[in-house]
Chains A and B, each alone.
Chain A
Amino acid sequence: AQKITQTQPGMFVQEKEAVTLDCTYDTSDQSYGLFWYKQPSSGEMIFLIYQGSYDEQNATEGRYSLNFQKARKSANLVISASQLGDSAMYFCAMREGEDSNYQLIWGAGTKLIIKP
């Protein structure tokens, strides 16, 4: 079974609009972490935001926020006021506990294109 599911292979969004990228996860661990990364066409992976399973508040970093719904096992990335430079691939990843040596499990990604 997929541990990280990103159901949107591609999205087109108008510039300045908010965009939500979906991520659902599957784990039986109580302690885990969720990450979002951006990969522009240059290829480098850029860390955006992190949410720990015990964090009571949703994580925010500038225009990025993580809509964490633990009971639904979802960790959606919200980008407010999208910009042309936000066009990229976006990956959701999960880190489980010590038994897995804290390896990251990656989703397949969502390609986001911002239209002017």
Chain B
Amino acid sequence: DGGITQSPKYLFRKEGQNVTLSCEQNLNHDAMYWYRQDPGQGLRLIYYSQIVNDFQKGDIAEGYSVSREKKESFPLTVTSAQKNPTAFYLCATAKFSYYEQYFGPGTRLTVT
């Protein structure tokens, strides 16, 4: 059963703590992406990776970090340096970077 999984669906953290959001895919897609969505707004790109062991910053990378050690996995760490981390985080994959992107179910992060 191919797909993209993000866990957990809801995540609560205290301010000042780092938190890692999981994104796993078994679609054998090369490209993976992390987006942030704030209420009533569109998507903003945080980081993306077109191939294993390589990734690039998107428009709002400050306060975030990623790794791509395996093709199937692209975890996102929200660090304490991120000023407003409360948001909905979506992971996406694409067979190649110029193909359509497919999205996971998202993780809603709340930091208090």
Chain A residues with a Cβ under 8 A of chain B: 33, 35, 37, 42-47, 50, 91, 95, 101-104, 106-109
Contacts and interface: CB of A to CB of B under 8 A. Distances in A.
A106 B58 contact: no
Interface residues of B, number: 22
B105 A43 contact: yes
A102 B103 contact: no
B100 A103 contact: no
Interface string B100-111: 111111101000
20 contacts: A35-B100, A37-B103, A42-B105, A43-B106, A44-B104, A45-B43, A45-B90, A46-B103, A47-B101, A95-B98, A101-B56, A102-B97, A102-B98, A103-B45, A103-B48, A104-B43, A104-B101, A108-B41, A108-B42, A109-B41
Contacts, number: 47
B23 interface: no
A33 B58 contact: no
B97 to A, nearest CB: 4
